[in-house]
Amino acid sequence: MSAFRTVLAVVVGLLLGPVLMLAGWIRRSPSRPWVIGGHRGRAVEDNSAALFVWMRKHTDQPIVWIGNAEVVERLRADGHTALVRNSLAARLAIFSAPVLAYSHGEDDLDLLMHLGRRFVGMTVFLNHSLNVYKGGDAFSPAYQQAGPVGRWFRRLVMTDFDVLPATSAYEQMCFRRNFPHRERRIRPFGGGAHLDAWIRRAEAAPLGGSKAIYWFPTHRDSPEGRAALAETLRTVTSDERLRRWLLDEGLTLRIGAHINTGAHRLALEPPYELRPMATLLEDIASAEGFISDYSGLVANAILLNRPTVLFPFDLETYLHHRYLHVPVEAIATGPVCYDAASFVDTLVSDAWHDTDTARARREDWKRRLFPMRAPVYAEGTYRTLCAEAGIAQRLRQPASAEGAR
């Protein structure tokens, strides 16, 4: 969004906000459309998208997606109901909705949602993925080191919600660290709608087989961290020994980019390949091995039984900005590498392949993280939100694992 359009959206929102609040309050009822969005309007992904698509298919509950103009155009072309973020129509829908859900924060739906959070229906923080590894919000060095006034101010701008559904008791524990001031609003189950697609992919076809290894470095919060990531990518992809090994083995090293990172500024040729976010699930499922550092996708790779290498090359620096719910070594189900040289050694020596120890560690984590191994998470999210909002469920067919498909 341009600076002018941003300023205009703020000014119009402030001027017309009271009128829209009143009109929305008068219109609000359980039959009104739910509102959902994610990724600051930029993408239809993760838990928010999975719940939206599932509800459109399996319920009679009206639901509208709020996103940027490009996303809205694409959704409307596919027959979905969608409104442009920060528009008057979207704002009226927000104040009229009995339930509002988002993946990253209230500003997924509108720039001014923080100001209107007390005047809307039940707000739901779905979280974009699994929160079982990398912490944030109140579970961060900046928050922990702040004084009482600093913490109070940070809570004002922090993501807020009436309900936060987790996938498991373990994830609930992690959420409580992130939001200790909202502990009573966190539910142990009813989250993880995006897991249905991962479970169905595992059921549909054998995993692996693409002759590729998939590397997903997560986003760095600081300019220094982003520069270090860029340098590490250049170092690894220019290593002649790694390039020769990949060619000899007939393997491709695919490199994915976090949505907040954007496309890596790399000019790569085979055996290297940059991959978009849109193919992430298939890239991990079909990969011979998975590489990451602090991403919650480590848990998704565990669910898919992917051999995994952790490459937290900047761990000490990273922990200046973030805390981890569990140490790197504890969540690792395979090798851990702390520099580019050991990372290359691990790949070319085939030390990244599965072992009995790795498989046992994965099973232990799966028991903690995934209480259900069937594609019923989106349905569970819907049921949980209906119960929390006191709204009758509007299922089109009996609930079942098959119906969740």
pLDDT in tens, 343-384: 999 999 999 999 999 999 999 999 999 999 999 999 999 999
- pLDDT for res 6: 81
Closest CA to 131 of 291, 297, 376: 297
Q: Identify the band that residue 262 occupies on the pLDDT scale cut at 50, 70 and 90.
A: low
pTM reported for the whole predicted model: 0.93
Give φ, ψ of 125 to 5 degrees. -95, 110
377's tokens: 């998470």
Residue percentage of the chain with pLDDT more than 70: 97
Mean pLDDT of 155-171: 96
- CA 166 to each of CA 36, 122, 175, 179, 275: distance values in angstroms, whole numbers, following the listed order: 18, 17, 8, 13, 29
- pLDDT for res 399: 53
Closest CA to 209 of 286, 100, 95, 112: 286
Q: Identify the band that residue 401 occupies on the pLDDT scale cut at 50, 70 and 90.
A: very low
Q: Identify the band that residue 398 occupies on the pLDDT scale cut at 50, 70 and 90.
A: low
- CA 244 to each of CA 237, 250, 268, 271, 301: distance values in angstroms, whole numbers, following the listed order: 11, 10, 15, 9, 27
Closest CA to 190 of 148, 161, 223, 218: 161
Q: Identify the band that residue 402 occupies on the pLDDT scale cut at 50, 70 and 90.
A: very low
pLDDT tens digits, 215-226: 999 988 889 999
pLDDT tens digits, 70-93: 999 999 999 999 999 999 999 999
- pLDDT for res 11: 83
**Under 8 Å between Cβ of 109 and 86:** no
Rounded Cα distance between 144 and 139, Å, is 7
Q: Identify the band that residue 403 occupies on the pLDDT scale cut at 50, 70 and 90.
A: very low
Structure-model confidence comparison of residues 262 and 310, the more confident one: 310
Average pLDDT, the chain: 93
pLDDT tens digits, 87-99: 999 999 999 999 9
Q: Identify any residues that bridge with 19 across adjacent strands, giving them in sequence order.
A: none
pLDDT tens digits, 123-142: 999 999 899 999 999 999 99
Mean pLDDT of 158-176: 97
pLDDT tens digits, 316-334: 999 999 999 999 999 999 9
Closest CA to 243 of 207, 213, 271: 271
